[in-house]
Amino acid sequence: MIIEFSVENFLSFKERVTLSMDSSSSKKIPQNIIKVPNNGRLLKSVAIYGANSSGKSNLLKAIDFMCWMITYSHNFNVNTQIPVTPFKLSTECSRNPSYFEMKFIHENITYRYGFSCNSKKIVSEYLFYFTGKKENKIFERKDKENFDFPVDNEQQNLIKPQVIENTLYLSRATQLGYQKTKNPYKFFTESLVININPTWTNYTLNRIYKNPEFKDKILEIMKKADFGGIEDIKIKKEIIPIKEVKFSVNQRYERDTTGDFFDLKFIHKAENGKDILFDALEESEGTQKALAILGPLFDIMENGKVAFIDELGCSLHPEITRLLIRLFHSDKNKNGQLIFTTHDTTLLDNELLRMDQIYFCSKEPNKYTQLSSLLDYDIRQVTDFERAYLSGRVGGVPFIDETLLS
């Protein structure tokens, strides 16, 4: 589970911003809260609003980049450039490293991990874990040679010479079998599920293909949510070769040598009662989007993972989007978390979301992204959130020059 994430000098972020999943003391809508050890309380979900080009997607891309570096940097050679993009509208920022930090809980241990880098090297890196409120250092790094190993000094010093300047120590040490980095590495590589540009259709179809009971869960929702009379789903699987691919801040890829291709058919009933097969592309955009999202959402809820979704409500009726969020807040979900961007203002409902679950990205033209919480404004839980947002009382609305209409 994520406690908080911070980023600085990356894409549209110049100054450090922090997205917190730590809940306020409010007792409103208790089903939206996850209780954690030591009387902690984390949010099950966070919605991020903002105008077009305000930086909402860039926040998810920052998390995606952090995960990608941890997952793959141990494969870098000395000539590999780190594909990091600092804030471009400042000469000073272009010379400074980009910074990423996450505080999280995995296997009942709280960690704080972060690093800074430029396109050539890792400038700093550190990993701490907590015992109660005390923070304990596992390692800290400044450039390639300057390491501090307060624990397992002998073992970590054997790993150090095998870490090149553009490779994360967390990534390399885990590959070399160091146990104290294994758990954080698994969190970033297995527990964070990120969707930016690619769809999650194959994610869902692969689970349906392997598990008929999972298909029944998907069908139950699609039937009860009025998705056009779908009776059943049929899937055939083929394996096709795919090329090795690279990271881009605009799209996330998985490195592999083969890919799964699924031939998907939806079954409807004709007037005479016979089954009629529809290709996936014959179904609505909303049906395809819902199918893609449901697989990861169930996985996150069942296995305590964290999902990041860009434009959650795109192509979906507002009531369907609301249903998915309510499902995530229900007792079916114990420890999963959902962080999503959206333009759907109907979700700004004080009976659906708490104040601490709503964030806004704001950016003036040729400026940098600022991140604020609804808690930062003079608003109460009983306030009409949607009206407050659309009237400009809080951040995240576009600046429109009315002379355009003259």
pLDDT tens profile 72-117: 999 999 999 999 999 999 989 999 999 999 999 999 999 999 999 9
| Tokens 């600022």, located at residue | 370
What string of DSSP letters covers 101-128?
Answer: EEEEEETTEEEEEEEEE-SS-EEEEEEE
Global pTM value: 0.87
Number of domains in the chain: 1
Asked, for residue 237, whether it belongs to a domain, the answer is: no
Residues of the chain with confidence (pLDDT) below 50: 244-245, 247, 249-258, 404
Rounded distance, CA 48 to CA 202, Å?
26
Which of helix, strand or coil describes residue 58? helix
291, part of any domain: no
Phi, psi of 287 (to 5 degrees): -65, -45
Does any domain span residue 168? yes
Asked whether residue 55 is assigned to any structural domain, the reply reads: yes
Show the domain range for 120: 1-197+303-406
Query: In this structure, which amino acid lies at residue 277?
Result: L
Q: Is there a domain that residue 348 lies in?
A: yes
Other C-beta atoms within 10 Å of 199: how many?
13
pLDDT tens per residue across span 164-208: 999 999 999 999 999 999 999 999 999 998 876 556 777 788 888
pLDDT at 249: 47
Q: Is residue 101 part of a domain?
A: yes
Q: What is the CATH number of the domain that holds 355?
A: 3.40.50
**Does 282 fall in a domain?**
no
**Using one digit for the tens of pLDDT, what is the confidence trace for 44-60?**
999 999 888 888 999 99
Residue 388 lies in a domain: yes
For position 255, what pLDDT does the model report?
Answer: 38
Q: Please answer whether residues 102 and 4 qualify as being in contact, where contact means their C-beta atoms are separated by less than 8 angstroms.
A: yes
The whole-angstrom distance between residue 154's C-alpha and the CA centroid of its chain comes to 36
